[in-house]
A and B are shown apart, each in its own frame.
Chain A
Amino acid sequence: MIRMFCKELPRTLSQLLYNEYQVARKGLDFLLETYPQRYKWVDDPEIIRLLLALSIFYRRVIAQLESAMSFSRRLFKSNVSYIEIGVDQIDHDQVEKMSKTVRDFYGLLKGFSISVELFDYYDSREFLSKVKQYKDFIEKEQD
C-alpha cells in the first residue's frame, strides 16, 4: 500500500515512509493474526493497511508542510519577503503551493469522514482501536 505514496519521491523520503510502514504493518499483521477474535470486526485488512499508509504519509509529509506554513505565515506578516533555509527558499508562492497540497489532502479525508485524530496513535494496537472507533462512528452516521 505504501508503494503508491513512495512512487517518484526521492529516496530519502520514500525510504522513510517505506520503513515506517513496514514496521507498523508487521505490528498490525501480528495483532490481526494473534487475536482474530478481538479483531473480528476487521473484514478487509487491506483497508486497514491503506489507512495506515495514509496516516504515515500525513505524519511525514502533510503535518510537516503545515508546520512550515505556520512559521512562514508569521514571518510574512512581519514584512519578510522570503525565508532562507540553507540554499533553499520559502516565499509566498511556495506557501501557496504548500497550502494547496495540505488543503487538497484534507478535502480527500473529508470526503470519507476521516478525521486526522485517526492518525494520532502510538502503536498498532492504538491505531486499530481508533480505526474501530471510526468505523463504528460512520456506521452509526449512516444508519
Chain B
Amino acid sequence: MAKNAPQRANVLQGTLDMLILRTLVYGSAHGHEIGKHIQRTTNDFLQMQHGSLYPALHRLEEKGWVVSKWETAPDRNREFKYYQLTDKGKKQLVVEESQWKQMAEAVARVMWPAAEES
C-alpha cells in the first residue's frame, strides 16, 4: 500500500452485525442507506463495499433480529427494501454492545497497561 494513502480499515469480522443493528436504532432503512450511514459516520474510515451488507442483512433477518418490507422512499418515488429492528434485535444489540465493550477494554488493558495503573 502506498505511504500516502488515507488511513482506512476493513470492517472487523463480527462487528458488521452490531454496526447494522446500531444504525437501525434510528429507524428503518434500506441497504444503501445503511451502508452510506456507516461510511459517513466513520468519516469514510471504515472501508466497505455496500454489497457486503446484503449477506449480513439476510443473516440478521434469518435470525429474526430485523424484519424487512418493501416501501416507497419519500424522496425517490420508488420502492426499496426497508429493514427494521425487532425487539429481539434490540436485545441482541445490547448483548453485542456489552460484549464489544468488554473486548475493547480487555484489548486496551493489554495494549496500554500504564493507563490503567494511573
Answer whether A and B are interacting partners. no
Instruction: Name B residues whose Cβ lies closer than 8 Å to a Cβ of A.
Output: none
Instruction: Name A residues whose Cβ lies closer than 8 Å to a Cβ of B.
Output: none
